[in-house]
Structure 1
């Protein structure tokens, strides 16, 4: 598989304009997994934003806590690795923020339910 990838990149190298060469050749650029993993992780952010339309009672606090913690941990990690991966940092900050907001919604809903008088 890596031979196919290497040949494909060699073909694409010829078509990258000179102005984009610094990005293309960067240690965390499109030729590496350091670029593609964060690019696909934006799907989690989009899912989190789409979940804002869900009713608060259907939100899983344990799931949102796990995703928020993952976002925070990987945000930190992305700044201590070499090369620093700002793309990974940004996507994980967004994952953490969207999930922390979802967690707030879930906890707030549950607190409101406990304050209601039992009929």
Structure 2
């Protein structure tokens, strides 16, 4: 049930794509090829990896633990899912592994910051002797 817009785009792209790519089993006609969401979803999801990597420059006190935890969970869940669907989507698997890894690093940074902050706040302040 493809939309008319999709069909028009593919029909015009078919004219431009070399004939050698139209062979059965080629990338163009593959079940996870550029005519499907299985190809484009991983392509666009790399944006989450880039965003996670750019957040490495952000100070640890500004990291969102909830956002990082959610992205870590979805990265793990979708990594597993990408290997049980048919066709197996290794592009989706790889991007989700990288999403999970970048968010795991962010969670560690936030956890380490909060741990060090708690340690510095818990240290008793030494009393300075008063000179009489």
What's the offset of the Cα at 1:13? 1.2
SS in 1 for 2:88: coil
Q: Which deviates further from its counterpart, 22-31 or 5-14?
A: 5-14
- Structure 1: stretches of 5+ with no match in the other structure: none
Q: Distance in 2 between matches of 1:105 and 1:66?
A: 16
Q: Distance in 1 between matches of 2:94 and 2:117?
A: 35
Higher-RCO chain (CA-CA 8 Å, sequence separation at least 6): 1
Q: Which residue of 2 aligns with 1:5?
A: 6
Deviations 1:72-99 (A, max 9, x none): 0000000000011111111100100000
Q: Which residue of 1 aligns with 2:53?
A: 49
Q: Residue 72 of structure 1: which of 72, 76, 100 is its match?
A: 76
Moved over 2 A (4+): 17-21
TM-score normalised to structure 2 length: 0.84
Q: Distance in 2 between matches of 1:34 and 1:118?
A: 57
Q: CA RMSD in A?
A: 1.5
- Structure with more helix by fraction: 1
Task: Tell me: CA distance 1:110–1:15, structure 2 relative to 1, closer, same or farther (3 Å).
Answer: same
Q: Distance in 2 between matches of 1:18 and 1:114?
A: 64
- Structure 2: stretches of 5+ with no match in the other structure: 126-132
